[in-house]
Structure 1
Amino acid sequence: MSRQSVIQVLLILGTLGVAWRLLVGSGQRTQAVRRIGLLLLAALAIYSIIDPSGTWTRIARWFGIGRGADLILYGLVVAFLGFVVTTYKRFRAMETRYTRLARRIALDEARPAAEHARSTGSPDTLSAELPPSPSVKTSDAD
């Protein structure tokens, strides 16, 4: 197995590992892993600023990659994938919370069935257009 195929396998495994870990975990442990990853990335960035010329190129050549810049790019692609997956999970969780909140508000502001039956004469029929409740602004009702 050539060195280039070794790095390809490692990058694929790293990408799959990041994606799996971020999709499965959502607790304090995952948050701690993310923080440690961020600290490692910051340390590597500082080291790259201090010694930009030789170290990354030597590491890249050991893995079978031509330049250190390419190795850094591959690492950033894996980190970006982790960011995208994390952002997607947060967005979905926020969407779920907003949906639950909207349902709760709708239930809280709904008229009781007995009051509805008195106003329409029948519990099975709905009255015509009801004005929005005082707590809902006209612009929010859209």
Structure 2
Amino acid sequence: MWFQVILVIALIGIGAYLVRSTPSPRHLAIRRLLVLLALLAGVVMVVWPGLLSRLAEFVGIGRGADLLFYLAIVAGLIYVVNEYKRSVQLTRANTQLAREIALTEARLLDRIAELEARSAPDAER
């Protein structure tokens, strides 16, 4: 029962992270730490497979496979949210770059037209 509460809190935390405005260096450090912990947990589960079943029983879940499934769902959601936020960030950056390129091109064309207008009277003489 209490593991279900932890899973619900984790899902609420993922939702809160989704609506957070911008990632910071602290989030990047936390993300890297979580990846390292997940890799370490994976190595431990491969070396001692019965440990997952005992951990599942300890938290009130029948089988280790069920625990692994629940954790995989949470990890998958975290991945999807991170990729979504990264996609939004890249889209915003591309939009800003496109605007700056368009403005620079317009300024350049205005300057070329201005220089051509200045040199046109000189060419008539």
- The bucket for the TM-score relative to the shorter chain is 0.7 to 0.9
Extract structure 1 runs of 4+ deviating beyond 3 A. none
Q: Is the 8 A contact 2:14 2:81 kept in 1?
A: no
Q: 2:59 aligns with which of 50, 58, 63?
A: 63
> Is the 1:22–1:30 Cα contact (8 Å) retained in structure 2?
no
Which structure ranks higher in relative contact order (CA pairs < 8 Å, sequence separation ≥ 6)? 2
Q: Is the 8 A contact 1:57 1:67 kept in 2?
A: yes
Of 21-30 and 93-102, more deviation after overlay is shown by: 21-30
1:19 corresponds in structure 2 to 15
Deviation at 1:61, TM superposition (A): 1.3
Q: Match for residue 30 of structure 2?
A: 33
2:78 aligns to what SS in structure 1? helix
Distance 1:22 1:99 in 2: 21
Tell me the equivalent position of 1:50: 47
| 2-structure distance, mates of 1:45, 1:103 | 46
- Give the secondary-structure state (helix, strand or coil) at the position aligned to 2:79: helix
Q: CA deviation at 1:21?
A: 3.6
Gaps of 5+ in 2: 118-125
**Superposed displacement of residue 23, structure 1:** 4.2
Q: How many residues are paired up? A: 113
Unaligned residue ranges in structure 1 (runs of 5+): 120-142
Alignment partner, residue 105 of structure 2: 109
Q: TM-score, normalised by structure 1?
A: 0.71
CA positional deviation for 1:16: 1.5
Post-superposition offset of 1:66:
0.9
Map Cα deviations across residues 91-110 of structure 1 (whole Å, 9 max, x no partner).
Answer: 00110111111111111111
**Alignment partner, residue 120 of structure 2:** none
Of residues 75, 80, 91, the one that matches 1:79 is 75
Structure 2 length normalisation: TM-score? 0.79
Partner SS, residue 112 of structure 1: helix
